[in-house]
């Protein structure tokens, strides 16, 4: 078993956004990925969450969906670096890029490209009963959209905001260096609409 929250510096990075270690660790805690799970990472960016998911689902599979070709290249490079042969990259925009996915245990959504409603419709069809969708939001608009989108769907929705401050040394002092706050949602699929 590995520890969640690989140091950010461990990843090969370009100009593609990356979820920071503390947020990744909490996403993984909420995802509750088991060794044999099948996971989708939608809006995978550099693949940092895909790597963490692949290490947790070491007997399963992770499908990384990313529309940016630079991101796809970084996902492949990071998968190679961390020895994650169970990561499958898909270049494209969700929900269309989700067409060939198998039934899923966990879906992690880090970006929707404005297609949240359609993506969640597809997730609802692909997700096994008891499966989980983990969503991260960095804007107030996305946070509100997620809450509205799950109204009436057969999911149990929970959420909270995380604010991370890292210490930064300045002379003899340590300053608080804030990262942008992130809202993390967990939606568990249930049998009928709530």
pLDDT digits over 107-162, tens only? 999 988 888 999 999 999 999 999 999 999 999 999 999 999 999 999 999 999 99
Q: What local confidence, expressed as pLDDT, does residue 51 receive?
A: 97
Whose tokens are 């879906």? That residue is 107
> Cα torsion at 63, 67, 71, 72 (round to 10°)?
50
d(CA 194, CA 17): 35
Query: What are φ and ψ of residue 18, in 5° steps?
Result: -135, 135
In the chain the domains, ranked by start, together with CATH numbers, are 20-175 (3.40.50.150)
Residue 191 clears pLDDT 80, i.e. is over it? no
Average pLDDT of 32-38? 97
């Amino acid at each position: 078993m590995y520890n969640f929250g690989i140091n950010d510096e461990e990843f090969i990075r370009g100009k593609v956004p990356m979820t920071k270690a503390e947020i990744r660790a909490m996403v993984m805690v909420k995802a509750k990925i088991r060794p044999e799970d099948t996971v989708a990472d939608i809006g995978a960016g550099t693949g940092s969450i895909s790597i963490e998911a692949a290490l947790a689902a070491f007997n399963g599979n992770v499908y990384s969906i990313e529309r940016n070709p630079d991101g796809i290249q970084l996902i492949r490079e990071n998968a190679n670096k961390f020895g994650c042969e169970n990561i499958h990259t898909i270049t494209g925009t969700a929900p269309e890029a989700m067409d060939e996915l198998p039934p899923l245990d966990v879906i992690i959504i880090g970006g929707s490209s404005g297609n949240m409603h359609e993506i969640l419709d597809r997730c609802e069809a692909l997700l096994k009963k008891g499966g989980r969708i983990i969503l991260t939001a960095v804007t107030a608009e996305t946070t509100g959209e997620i809450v509205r989108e799950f109204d009436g769907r057969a999911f149990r929705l929970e959420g909270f905001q995380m604010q991370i401050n890292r210490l930064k040394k300045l002379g003899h002092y340590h300053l608080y260096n804030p990262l942008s706050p992130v809202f993390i949602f967990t939606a568990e699929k249930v049998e009928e609409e709530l």
